[in-house]
Amino acid sequence: MTDELIGKRVKVLDKGWIELIDLMPHPASAVSGDLAIVNAARVSFLGESKGAQRDKRLLFYLLRHRHTSPFEMVEFKFRVRAPLVTWWQWVRHRTWNMNAQSGRYTPFQENDFYVPAIWRRQSADNKQASEGRLAEQPSGELTQMLLAHYEEGYRLYSQALERGVSKEMARLFLPGFSVYYTWVAKVDAHNLMQFLRLRMADDAQYEIRVYADAIYQHFFAPALPWTAEAFQQFAFPADEA
């Protein structure tokens, strides 16, 4: 299954997606990702694979006791299209290596804006979170208000470009948090697990949680099945559930 991961693209949100563009070790390699982690741990005393059962037991030991450096021997490289409201949180994880599309070089398109499927209420006990659907005002009306805002912003952006304003300044007219950007993002398995632990949590903002869920389900777990099993066991212990 891992040989089908490179180039796989998964749809996220209304216009977003995430694609795996490279993986180390490569799926075509004779060494799986999980075994690369085990081999990296055993190099401390110049050891090698001792069979699947003992290898898996060692990997679980490593993660349970936070011996994390062997997990840095596996790397994932993604191409991701997500709205700025997602990237604003993603870049807080400084262990990722990233390079982004630039609005200074590439003009934005009229439909490059995130339109949420539902409107969420402000959480009553968490100042930074939301919860449930908004019932006080029809979501259709709010969506129409948002679309009108996007249309006007893009109209002004286009007019500025037509008047010869530079792309880097014309984008000031665009609605900031909702515009979609495409990035290339690379991370090792250890730091990816730290990202997933925080961004797959129930209190993570929906617009980044869906990307974390997609990474785990479609890329991380298929590439590293032993590590994913250990991650579920040790990253989300019962007393934190």
Domain boundaries, the chain: 2-99+179-240, 115-173
Q: Given a cut of 50, is residue 239 above it in pLDDT? A: no
CA distances from 7 to 19, 76, 78, 143, 169 (A): 6, 12, 9, 33, 34
CA 173 centroid distance within chain: 27
How is residue 179 annotated by DSSP? B
Q: Which of 42, 121, 155, 199 is catalytic?
A: 199
Q: Tell me how far apart the alpha carbons of residues 14 and 30 are, in angstroms, rounded to a whole number.
A: 38
Q: What is the pLDDT of residue 46?
A: 46
Confidence of residue 105 (pLDDT cuts 50, 70, 90): confident
Percent of the chain with pLDDT over 70: 90
139-178 pLDDT tens trace: 688 899 999 999 999 999 999 999 999 998 998 999 888 9
The mean per-residue pLDDT over the stretch 78-105 comes to 91
The domain defined by 2-99+179-240 folds into Gyrase A; domain 2 (3.30.1360)
User: Known catalytic residue: 197?
Assistant: no
Q: If we measure between CA atoms, which residue out of 177, 208, 178 comes closest to residue 115?
A: 178
Instruction: Tell me what the pLDDT averaged over the chain comes to.
Output: 88
Confidence of residue 240 (pLDDT cuts 50, 70, 90): very low
Question: Are the CB atoms for 8 and 219 separated by under 8 Å?
Answer: yes
pTM assigned to the model: 0.88
The tens digit of pLDDT for each residue in 7-20 reads 999 999 999 999 99
107-130 mean pLDDT: 79
Look at residue 176 in the predicted model and tell me its pLDDT: 84
Band of pLDDT at residue 110, cut at 50, 70 and 90 = confident
Task: Please tell me the distance from the alpha carbon of residue 7 to that of residue 17, in angstroms, as a whole number.
Answer: 12
pLDDT tens-digit series, residues 132-143 = 777 766 668 889
pLDDT at 241 over 70: no
pLDDT value for 107: 80
83 vs 154: CA distance, rounded Å? 16
Of 1, 99, 63, 38, the residue nearest 193 (C-alpha): 63
Q: CA separation (Å) from 103 to 112, 113, 178?
A: 12, 14, 14
